[in-house]
Structure 1
Amino acid sequence: MSRLNLYLRRWAPALLLLAAPLMLAADEPARWDTPGAGNPLLPGYFADPSIVRDGNRWYIFATIDPWGDDRLGLWTSENGRDWRFSTPNWPTKAAATSPTSGNSKVWAPSVVRAANGRWYMYVSVGSEVWVGSAASPAGPWRDANGGKPLIARDFAPAYHMIDAEAFVDDDGQGYLYWGSGLNWTNGHCFVVKLKPDMVTFDDAPRDVTPENYFEGPFMVKANGRYLLTYSDGNTTKDTYKVRYAIGATPFGPFHEAPNSPLLQTDAARDIISPGHHAVFRSQGRSYILYHRQALPWPQPGDSVLRQVAVDPLTIAADGTLTRVRPTHGSQVADFAAARDRGLSWTPAGDRAAAKAGDDNYATLWRGPGAIVADLGSVRRVQGSRVRPEFATRSYSYGVEASRDGKSWTPLLAPAEQQGSPLMLRHPTVARYLRLTVATPGAALWEWSIDGEKAQRR
């Protein structure tokens, strides 16, 4: 069966737990900074996402921005809305490198389940592709190719040997697609048939480059057609986009579809440079998961910071794709449950602090200083969940409580933590809580306060 149908068959029981689909909503946020916007999906700067589901859990593997890290980012969720950050044990820049890898970091993962039941990760380290395997997406992951790259940098020196993406066809046969350009000039796309071990090449790689191809291939099979989707343009500017080409076999030949591009910049709605995507299914519907520029755009200085978003993807009866209308979040409810926001609170004093409680991962509250949360009445509180700007950096937060907003009792002394969300335990009975940000230059996406009736995720 196709990769999309494989996802649907494996996950159907678990997907029944997700929220029921909504129609294209008229209530989509008019602006990116509207409270409650569901996109970005993840609280932080990540790119090149790969999404899978195993049992009742979603996994998103992604590049850590800016421009990669010594390891990958991994987000997990049971409901598609409340995500926890970690880093897989493999790959790391130290463990997966060769004399020809180059200085670039770890990026662009592709994770798939093979016909043999094991999971495989194809990941770029420097300018080469490595492969690892695990019994579960949760790991532990291990190198699967004897400590050497699967695709070396010198395979085709005129192009980047990155952005590998695996595809498992209806009959269980695996294929691997990869390739990117250099210096923002369009590249070439290569494909190879894989042996059942998902590591050994079954024949010589072929060049199957379609029109306007730059990087980020992702194969979708629909109604007997092979749809090679890919990115084009410059992710640092406003020209990055998703195109697609149609072929009759996994090797093509591929020709760009008449209605390509599939997904592109919508400057009027502050959606800039969407691309490097993955396609998946939930509750019988198809979705495209992709990165786009963090807002407001452009960022100060020369930083390139991207965030992950998700939107519905329509596959027509003839096996072609319908252009995607990127959103600020109304359609996230199709894929995911409502976020667990904890107790309701309003900022006391600093109105800008409302950004830390607006249920929107596009808006930040930036210190220094403190946020005072008014719970509206005296409530029993268990603790807090804080989602900092960078999940890979250490932050220090302190918490105080008050019944009247005047007399304060220390609950939690500032101490460094790393991750997202940061779990702060400070049981008390109070109307006001004061969250002090002790780390210079720190910012946070959201502060959720857990009470007796708030279910911690």
Structure 2
Amino acid sequence: MMKNAFAILALCLAGAGVAADVPTPRWDLPGAGNPLLPGYFADPSIVRDRGRWYIFATIDPWGDDRLGLWQSDNGRDWTFSTPDWPTKQAATSPTSGDAKVWAPSVVQARDGRWWMYVSVGNEIWVGTAPSAGGPWRDANGGKPLVNKAFAPKYHMIDAEAFIDDDGQAYLYWGSGWNWTNGHCFVAKLKPDMIGFDGPVRDVTPANYFEGPFMVKANGRYYLTYSDGNTTKDTYKVRYAAGATPFGPFEEGVTSPILQTDAARQIVSPGHHAVFRSGGDPYILYHRQGLPFDPAGTEVKRQIAVDALRFAADGTIAKVEPTHTGGAVTGFAAARTRGLRWQASGTAGDPLHGPERAADDNYATLWKPLVGRPVTLVADLGKSRPVRGTRLRPEYATKPYRFRVEASRDGRRWTPLAADAVRTGSPIVVAHPTTTRWLRLVFADAADVGVFEWTID
């Protein structure tokens, strides 16, 4: 089966114009740390507040009427929610386009409050909260900070706030249309974090398309950004350096620093955030979920994290993208695992069999072929006490109707948790019992997918 799985992936990459004669892929090994999150998300922003990590992200495919928010105390086990703000309904103006909620940037200002700059309807909106976890509220009287008509030739999206060492805040934003002609704008923010203190400047560096992120290191200002097409294999991260937050910016000799790597099965990494933990820098970014669809009919991006290094010569070193997940200082070495179990049940294709729900890898998932009923069976090896289920479904925002059953002999099944519609990630279901076999029974085969089933 593994040989067939690799062949399918190689064909996908070859169809995208990437060489098929690559080394044996390592993306689907058990226990992989990247992707960091179970599901399809993009354009991440990461902050730490009161000992907890928060990742804000676009919900794929192509956004949602809400924003995705993941929280973790250890950097490895994440819980999904959607903040009250922004929503497509609450952040819409007479000039808004039809684009969904995209690309959040979250920072803490010198007054201690938290601020979010987010793209909704091809416009930039600003919200605020007393803590990173919320409650989030609109901060500009129900109006966009930058409306769609500000520069009609360009996309008013991908706002990213940067706070300098002296506490002064700046806002960078801008993209192009039809995957070309991206432009980067910047303005100094007033102390209220809403108004612009001075003119908006065009600071577009070479090979810029979208996703600006300003980083300061060793006294230099590094404008990092993406170019290419996120739906293809051309998306990548570049950088340009300057002496001030306004530049001028000159692209670095080591740029691009992160791009498609067929040998490692990394496709179209980009739209990133740079953060520090324990003083060490890291890059959090999205890349295409695997197997990659070269036709671009689906946009299923996943969030990954790897080490970043600012070199002594003023350049940024090439990023080595991994499937193990960069060993982030302060993050747990691995995710919390429940009981070990052997999987069986409704079959999937060679890449999506039942065993994928028990391999502790968020790049892989069980996705059964159409058939009813749809079941996933866990054999615990012997009769033992269990407390419940933590299910990480393919889509954290979609409803899944299922029940949980138990068996001591693998033939006769007793209901433990009633048939019900559930959402979230993880979906937590308590069902204390002593048993050897557990079974999930889904009411409908349509769009069932499970990244991981953790049994406690």
TM beyond 0.5: yes
- Counterpart contact for 1:277–1:289, Cα < 8 Å: yes
| Aligned counterpart in structure 1 of residue 425 of structure 2, from 416, 420, 426 | 420
- Counterpart contact for 1:192–1:205, Cα < 8 Å: yes
- Counterpart contact for 2:102–2:119, Cα < 8 Å: yes
Aligned residue for 2:354, secondary structure, equals helix
1:330 and 1:164 mapped to 2: Cα distance?
27
Aligned residue for 1:268, secondary structure, equals helix
2:327 and 2:450 mapped to 1: Cα distance?
22
Find the counterpart in structure 2 of residue 405 from structure 1. Answer: 410
- Counterpart contact for 1:223–1:318, Cα < 8 Å: no
Q: How far is the alpha carbon of 1:317 from its aligned partner?
A: 2.7
Task: Tell me the alpha carbon deviations over residues 226-263 of structure 1, each in whole angstroms, 9 at most, x when there is no partner.
Answer: 00000000001000000000000000000100110010
- Counterpart contact for 2:403–2:418, Cα < 8 Å: yes
AA of the residue aligned to 1:105: K
Q: How far is the alpha carbon of 1:438 from its aligned partner?
A: 2.0
AA of the residue aligned to 1:366: K
Q: How far is the alpha carbon of 1:340 from its aligned partner?
A: 1.1
1:71 and 1:408 mapped to 2: Cα distance?
39
Find the counterpart in structure 2 of residue 364 from structure 1. Answer: 365
Q: How far is the alpha carbon of 1:273 from its aligned partner?
A: 0.2
Find the counterpart in structure 2 of residue 78 from structure 1. Answer: 73
Q: How far is the alpha carbon of 1:372 from its aligned partner?
A: 1.4
| Aligned counterpart in structure 2 of residue 447 of structure 1, from 435, 449, 453 | 453
Find the counterpart in structure 1 of residue 98 from structure 2. Answer: 103
AA of the residue aligned to 2:72: S
Structure 1 consecutive aligned stretches of length 4 or more whose deviation exceeds 3 Å = 332-335, 348-351
| Aligned counterpart in structure 2 of residue 171 of structure 1, from 166, 171, 177 | 166
Structure 1: stretches of 5+ with no match in the other structure: 1-28, 451-457
Task: Tell me the alpha carbon deviations over residues 280-318 of structure 1, each in whole angstroms, 9 at most, x when there is no partner.
Answer: 011221110000001101177711111111000011234
- Counterpart contact for 2:375–2:439, Cα < 8 Å: yes
AA of the residue aligned to 1:108: A
1:350 and 1:370 mapped to 2: Cα distance?
5
Aligned residue for 1:158, secondary structure, equals coil
Task: Tell me the alpha carbon deviations over residues 380-427 of structure 1, each in whole angstroms, 9 at most, x when there is no partner.
Answer: 010000011000100012111112222221111220011111011111
- Counterpart contact for 2:69–2:83, Cα < 8 Å: yes
1:300 and 1:245 mapped to 2: Cα distance?
32
| Aligned counterpart in structure 2 of residue 157 of structure 1, from 152, 155, 177 | 152
Task: Establish whether residue 190 from structure 1 lines up as the match of residue 185 from structure 2.
Answer: yes
Find the counterpart in structure 2 of residue 390 from structure 1. Answer: 395
**Amino-acid identity (%):** 70
- TM-score, normalising length: structure 2: 0.90
AA of the residue aligned to 2:421: E
| RMSD, aligned CA | 1.5
- Counterpart contact for 2:282–2:328, Cα < 8 Å: no
Find the counterpart in structure 1 of residue 8 from structure 2. Answer: none
Find the counterpart in structure 2 of residue 130 from structure 1. Answer: 125
1:263 and 1:296 mapped to 2: Cα distance?
19
Q: How far is the alpha carbon of 1:55 from its aligned partner?
A: 1.1
Structure 2: stretches of 5+ with no match in the other structure: 1-23, 348-352
AA of the residue aligned to 1:172: G
Task: Tell me the alpha carbon deviations over residues 113-166 of structure 1, each in whole angstroms, 9 at most, x when there is no partner.
Answer: 011111000000011100001110111111111110100111110000100000
Task: Show the 5 A alignment for 1:28-427.
Answer: 30-298=25-293, 302-332=297-327, 334=329, 336-337=331-332, 338-348=334-344, 352-367=353-368, 368=371, 369-427=374-432
Task: Establish whether residue 435 from structure 1 lines up as the match of residue 445 from structure 2.
Answer: no
Q: How far is the alpha carbon of 1:335 from its aligned partner?
A: 5.5
Task: Tell me the alpha carbon deviations over residues 300-347 of structure 1, each in whole angstroms, 9 at most, x when there is no partner.
Answer: 771111111100001123443111011112424655212111111112
Aligned residue for 2:306, secondary structure, equals strand
Change (3 A) 1:300 1:403: farther
2:442 and 2:319 mapped to 1: Cα distance?
39
Aligned residue for 1:154, secondary structure, equals coil
AA of the residue aligned to 2:243: A
Aligned residue for 2:263, secondary structure, equals helix
2:420 and 2:58 mapped to 1: Cα distance?
28
Task: Please identify, of 103-112 and 332-341, the stretch whose mean Cα deviation from structure 2 is larger.
Answer: 332-341
- TM-score, normalising length: structure 1: 0.90
Count how many residue pairs are aligned between Structure 1 and Structure 2. 422
Q: How far is the alpha carbon of 1:376 from its aligned partner?
A: 1.5
Change (3 A) 1:220 1:354: same
2:102 and 2:53 mapped to 1: Cα distance?
20
2:344 and 2:170 mapped to 1: Cα distance?
56
2:428 and 2:123 mapped to 1: Cα distance?
37
1:271 and 1:335 mapped to 2: Cα distance?
25
- Counterpart contact for 2:401–2:443, Cα < 8 Å: yes
